Structure 1
C-alpha cells in the first residue's frame, strides 16, 4: 500500500480498509493521511515525533494472535487497518511513512536489538527504527515501547545486534556499523515489498534477486 497522498492512492487505501477491516479502519486510515499532510512541511525532528506517537497508539500484539503466523511483516495499511501489530510492524510503518515525508533512506535503519523488558525481567528480541542525522552522528531511537525519542546511548535497556534499510543490511556495533554478509531478513523484506505497489519507497536489499 502506497503512502503517497494522490487521490487515487487514497481512494484505493480507503476501499481496502473498508472491505477488509470495516468502518473504524477507514477512520484510522484517514487519520494517517491527515498526519502526513500536517507533517509534510515540518522539520525532521518534528516528523519523527509525530510519526512515532501516531503509530504508538496502535495496540501491540503478536504475529500469531494478529495474523495467525509466527512471523509476518505487515504493510502500514495492514497495521492501521487491523489496529494491531508487533514491534517489526511498528518500525516498518514508521520507516515507510517517514520516507514518504521526505526523510532520506540513508538516515533510517530498521534495527534489531535485545531489549530488557521489565514485565518479563528478561532480554528479548525487538525491532526499533533508528534515525541517523549524519553518518557519524549518534542515532535516535523510535520505539513502540515509548513515545520518548532518545539517543541510542541513553537507551541502556537496548543492545543492538544489526540493522538495515531498503538498500542494504548492516551489522551494528554500538556507535558504528559494518556491512552484514548474511541477509537474514531479506526474505521477509521481499515478501513485504511484494505487497507494496511499485512506487513505494522500498529499494532492493542486497541478497534479493
Structure 2
C-alpha cells in the first residue's frame, strides 16, 4: 500500500476483472509498541507510511472507479484515534491522521456522490495482538479499562459489523457498537489517558516497556522484514 504504482495497477486489474469498484475499504495497518525514544526512526515512520500514506494511496488508486459507481470508501481507524496511548505513538498518530484524512475526503467527494465512512475498531483478535496478556505495552493499555472494554472480539464478528456499515453506507461504523457512546466523551479522553499513563509509568520500570519495542504481530514483522530487505537492495512483495 505504500507503492502507488503497484496500487494503481491493482486497481486496474480489479476494474478489468470485476468491473469498477463500488466499495473500497482501506484496512491495511501495522502497529509498533514501545517508548518513542527507544523506537527506531525508520520503524516509526513505516507505521505511519502503511497506516496513513497507504490509506491515501488506496483512495487515490480507486477514486476514478468510485466516481463512476458513486461508490463508498470506508477508512478503518481505531479507538487509538480517540485518545492517544503512551508507548504507541506511531500507531496513534497514524490512526488519528487516517481519521482526519477520511473526514477531509468526505467533504471533497460528497458532490460526486461518493460516501466516505470511518470505522472505529477496538480490541480485535488478529495476530497484531497475539500474546496480548504477555506483551507489556498491550497489557498495560488494557489494565485500567472497564471489563467490557477489555473484551477481544473475533475477526468474524468485527467483519459482520463492518459489512453492516458498508451496506448502509454509514458515515461511522463502530466495532463494537457501544463505541458510538464514546464519541461525545472524546474531549475528556486525553486527560483520562494521561492520568492513567502517569500511574502506570510509576508502577512499572521503563525497561519493562522497552523490552518489546518493535512491530506487533506476524504481519507487522513480515512487512518490516520485506521493507528492510527492499531497502538493502532486495525485493519485497506488495503489502
Q: Normalising by the residue count of structure 2, what TM-score does the alignment of the two structures yield?
A: 0.29
Q: Which structure features the higher share of strand residues?
A: 1
Q: Which has the larger radius of gyration?
A: 2
Q: Normalising by the residue count of structure 1, what TM-score does the alignment of the two structures yield?
A: 0.32
**Larger relative contact order (Cα-Cα within 8 Å, sequence gap ≥ 6):** 2
Q: Which structure features the higher share of helix residues?
A: 2
